[in-house]
Amino acid sequence: MLLTKEPARPAWIRDWPHAWILAVGTVCFGAFMGQLDASIVTLTYRPVQQQFHAGLAGVEWVSLSYLLSLTALLVPVGRWSDRRGRKLSYLQGFILFTAASAACGLAPSLPVLIAARAVQGGGAALLQANSVALVTTSPPRNRLRTALGIQAAAQALGLAVGPTVGGMLVDAAGWRYVYFINVPVGLVAAAAGIWLLPRTHHRPDRLPLDGVGTGLLAACTTAFLLALSSASGLSTPGWVTALLIVVAAGTGWLLARRQRHTSQPLIDPALLRDRAVSAGLVSALFGYLTLFGPLVLVPVVLEAQGMSAVHAGLVLTALPAGFAVAATLAGALLPRAWGNRARSIAGGVVTAAGLVAGLVLPAHTGPLIVVLVVTGLGLGIFTPANNAQIMGAIPHASSGTGGGMVNMARGLGTALGISTVTLCLQIGGQGQSGARLAFAALLGAAGLTLAGTVVHRPVGGDQHTDGGAAAASAFE
């Protein structure tokens, strides 16, 4: 039943006026699990290098294979879920993600680990493409930003718990248990989803999958990430890197051309013509680059100084802790008259201030904690407001596609953050010079995040309601 159609909620849950809170809370399981995994995996780089006798650029693909699969599948999975049902796809995503996590923990070699991570990315695509859609369409209009803030806080909690738990697991039990920890969380979340998530009632009548567009998107992102990995230290000739860049640019151009001319585009150009969507997606990409870059930078720099994985994890917790505080409390502490754009700008300014401090202060424990807390506070203010602005401009019937686009921006931003920091450490070394170079690159990304927000000026003024979006429920 679970794998063929969406199971209905019990009537007493469906008819409860605050049932949307239960739906959002269930989605938070997936948000927590995804970010827990993202924040833990970077702490396994050094022990995986040692066990499989690999370089940093090779082990980097433990993360990049996941992100490659995730990024290539998010938008097509979002369109597919709009038609088949978002609850069904979300539950199937949990099953696939949990099974692949177990396979990662049992991997006998680096290639098998990388392949299992790619499968895990497919499960994550089913989760992430539907998480934003479920959160966006479940609450009443005036509670949308609150719901997105709750989801962002769950993501931040996963990020916050991840480094500490990951460091303890790596030191006490080994890197394999970093993946095994996903299994019980996934089982609980799948069971909760059956009972608490609403079924999809409003679906497009006809929504064929653009197979050619999907292939071009996969080719473009694959070539792009391979080029980044090659530039950041993977053992490949220079002509291969140049060829990958040409392939990425060529397939990207073909993808854009096809989306303009096909009757059923994978990425609807009409959505991207809305500046609230296009500018918001650009800002989201660079915002997530800024968020995930330090997850690679801090463990590598501190462990190069002789610190343990637990110590590095505790320091790294400062970033998602600041994010969680801001995502949870910004709505109450910031002026109520501020809309999504004003909040996004404020968050971008605070983020940039934290990264400027990273350029000036030494990359030691105390200064790094200050830098990470301030940066996290800024991103915690920015992210929920920016996501609300994007989803508020997307029709309900396309909310799965919109959620896929938001999370594709996150996947690309995460991959860019990992690759950019790895490249900076390859050029500048794993000491102070490499850390400063990485913070300079992250500051540039924060500047682009802020620029994308400033460029967008909403017609009719900034949104200042809690939701800022049409949110009549599309579910039971």
- Where would I find the H helices in 42-109? 45-52, 56-59, 61-84, 86-105
Which two tokens mark 8? 């209905």
Question: Exposed, middle or buried: residue 334 (CB in 10 Å: 0-12, 13-18, 19+)?
Answer: middle
Tell me the chain's radius of gyration from C-alpha atoms.
21
Q: What is the structure's pLDDT at 371?
A: 93
Between CA 179 and CA 200 the distance in angstroms is 31
Q: What is the structure's pLDDT at 400?
A: 61
- Smallest CA-to-CA distance from 132 within 368, 469, 476, 417 is with 469
Q: What is the structure's pLDDT at 2?
A: 46
Q: Is 95 left (phi over 0), alpha (psi -120 to 50) or beta?
A: alpha
Q: What is the structure's pLDDT at 469?
A: 35
Quick one: DSSP state of residue 470? -
- Where would I find the H helices in 262-364? 269-272, 275-304, 309-316, 318-333, 340-360
**Angle separating helix axes 19-41 and 182-196, nearest 10 degrees:** 160
Query: Digits of tens for pLDDT over the chain (476 positions)?
Result: 445 676 767 677 766 777 777 888 888 877 777 777 766 787 788 889 889 988 777 787 888 888 778 877 877 777 777 667 778 888 888 889 999 999 999 999 999 999 999 999 889 888 877 776 777 766 766 677 677 777 767 776 776 677 777 778 888 888 898 899 888 888 888 888 888 777 765 555 555 667 788 788 878 878 887 787 776 666 667 788 889 899 999 998 998 888 787 776 767 677 777 777 888 888 888 988 998 888 888 888 887 888 887 888 788 888 888 887 887 777 677 877 787 788 888 898 999 999 999 988 888 888 999 999 999 999 988 888 888 778 777 776 666 667 667 777 877 787 788 878 888 887 887 778 888 898 999 999 988 888 877 766 554 445 544 433 332 222 23
Between CA 5 and CA 85 the distance in angstroms is 8
Between CA 252 and CA 109 the distance in angstroms is 33
CA 146 to chain CA centroid, nearest Å:
19
Q: From residue 52, give the alpha-carbon distance in Å to each of 59, 109, 276.
A: 9, 7, 46
